[in-house]
Structure formats: structure tokens, C-alpha cells
Amino acid sequence: MRLALRFTLAVGLTALALPALAQETTIDTKRLPVKDGHFEFEGPFGTYDRAALQRGFQVYKEVCAACHGLNHIAFHNLDEEGGPGFTEAQAKAIAAGYKIPADPNDKGEITDDKGNRLTRPGILADKFPSPYPNEEAARANNSGSLPPDLSMIEKAREGGSDYVFSILTGFHMTPPKGFKVTEGKYYNPYFEGWNISMPPPLVANAVTYSDGTKATIEQEAHDVATFLAWASDPKMEERKRTGFGVLVFLVVLSGVLFAAYRKVWAEMH
């Protein structure tokens, strides 16, 4: 009798404990809420900080561009209103620093004698060249993972610029007990699933800012997230400015219409 009771108790307790044990080993790896990057361009009147855009472009160019494309951005965008505020000469110089795959030459060839792809210096009309010839090459160079194009990254992720900021500053943390980082991946709790293929891209002084700003990881992340916000939404300043005028007009028109409405209906109630 006693034995049976003990046995039942033991089985019962185990049955109760099992789900609890199982729960401990399966951690919810939903991404953490994004951190606030405190961006200057937030709010209905916010505009991009030109200096941050230029520094962010430097971070993109010297760090991110090794793996990530910027396919929808042309060099002439760099000197456009509402953008990083480079002069046309600066944008031309930046373009000329890139090698663009050339059209077939006068022999109809696209490679030189040694089989290397013919290139020419970039011009304003060119878009940023991709770091890899195609998706297969990109995956082959990144152990099977595809570094996403960054032209629209902040419109394509919930959280936008705060998300990019969180990812970039979300490395170097100790994973919670029971969470095992997958081989060849990195721990980043701001990334869905917590395992990210991208190695920590930023370190302090990864770039040397010409304006003397101290290049901490936070600063670099803030700057490049600002630059990518512009890349995703290059018309933001024009949009907010136009919107202000439109809303002022509509509110005034509403007032006029309300007065007309009251006058027309005055004797009807």
C-alpha cells in the first residue's frame, strides 16, 4: 500500500516536473524590443543630421560595404537635397573611387587577357555596385548566409532605424543560461532567433571621423543607422515639409467650410 502510494507520488511528481524541465531548455528566442537610438530625424519636424549622414556614409563605405550592397542608391543621390549634403564634386569623387563592371570593349570582350572583368570608374548616374557578382557568390562567401541589401533595410524591418541601431550595438552580450549559440553564428538578442550570421561589424575606432567625433560603437551605429534611414527614405524631409503646408491649408479650408456650413444651416435648426 505504502509502496504504491510512493510510486504514484513519484510518477505524479515527475509528470509535473517534466514540462517544467522541458520549458527550461526551450527558451523563447523572440527578439528583444528595440532600443531607442535617439535619432534627430524622428518626429513631425525632424530632419537628418547632415554630419551624421556623412559619418554614417563613411561607416557604410568602410565597414558594411564589404558584404552589403546599396543597390537602389545612385551616386548622384549623395548630393541631392535632403541627403547627406555632399557637393557635386565630392559625389563625383566618391563615384570615381568605385569600379563599375564595364560594357563590352571594341573587341566585344568584357574581360582582359588574364580573364579579369573589365571595369571603369563610377560616374554620378551609376548605382552603388554590389559587393558580390550574384546571390550564389554572396552566400558562398558567407557560409551560406545572404547579407541583405541595405537600400531599404529600415523600411523592411519592424522598428526601422531603432532596429538597425539595436542590432549593431547588440553584440558582445552573454547569452542566458541554457541558450547555446549555433556554431558559426553570433549571439544577438535583438535578432529574431538570437543567432545572427553577421559577425560583430563595429569596433571602437573602426573608422576615423574627419570631424573629430569619437568613434565609439554607439556613435558608429547611430551614424550608420541615420545614413540607412536616409537610404530607405530619401524623400523624408520633402515629405514632412510638404505635409506641413498641406495640413495648414486643409485646416484653414476646414475653417472656411465650417463657417459656410454654419451660415447655410443657420436658419434650419
Partner 1 sequence: MSGPSTYTPKSGFEKWIDQRLPLPRLMHDTMQTFPTPRNLNIWYTFGGILTFCLGVQILTGIVLAMHYVANAGLAFDSVEAIMRDVNYGWLIRYIHSNGASMFFLAVYIHMFRGLYYGSYKAPRELIWIIGVLIYLLMMATAFFGYVLPWGQMSFWGATVITNLFSAIPVIGSHIATWLWGDFAVGDATLNRFFSLHYLLPFIIAGVVGLHIWALHVPGNNNPLGIDVKSPQDTVPFHPYYTVKDAFYLCLFVVVFAAFVFYAPNFFGNPDNYQQANPLVTPPDIVPEWYLLPFYAMLRSIPNKLMGVIVMGGAIVTLFFLPWLDTSRVRSCRFRPLMKQFFWAFAVACVILGYCGAQSVDASVAGVPLLWVARLATLYYFLFFWILMPIIGLIETPKKLPASIAQSVLGDTAAAAAE
What is the contact surface with partner 1 in residues (CB under 8 A)?
A: 44, 72, 77, 148, 151-152, 155-158, 192, 232, 234-235, 238-240, 242-244, 246-247, 250-251, 253-254, 257-258, 260-261, 264-265, 268-269
- Smallest gap from Cβ 56 to partner 1, in A, equals 18
Shorter beta-carbon distance to partner 1: residue 72 or 185: 72
Q: 184: alpha, beta or left, given left = phi > 0 and alpha = psi -120 to 50?
A: left
C-alpha cell at 142: 558567407
> Dihedrals φ, ψ of 101, to 5°?
-55, 125
- Smallest gap from Cβ 125 to partner 1, in A, equals 11
- Smallest gap from Cβ 100 to partner 1, in A, equals 18
Shorter beta-carbon distance to partner 1: residue 143 or 254: 254
The DSSP line for 139-183 is HHHTTT--PPPSTTTTTSSTTHHHHHHHHHT--S-PPPTT--PPT
Shorter beta-carbon distance to partner 1: residue 3 or 266: 266
Shorter beta-carbon distance to partner 1: residue 13 or 257: 257
- Smallest gap from Cβ 234 to partner 1, in A, equals 6
What's at 146, amino acid-wise?
A: L
Shorter beta-carbon distance to partner 1: residue 105 or 254: 254
Tell me if 139 sits within 8 A of 88, measured CB to CB. no
**Exposure class string for 136-158: b at 16+ Cβ within 10 A, else e:** eebeeeeeeeebebbbbbbeebe
CA distance 139 to 65: 15
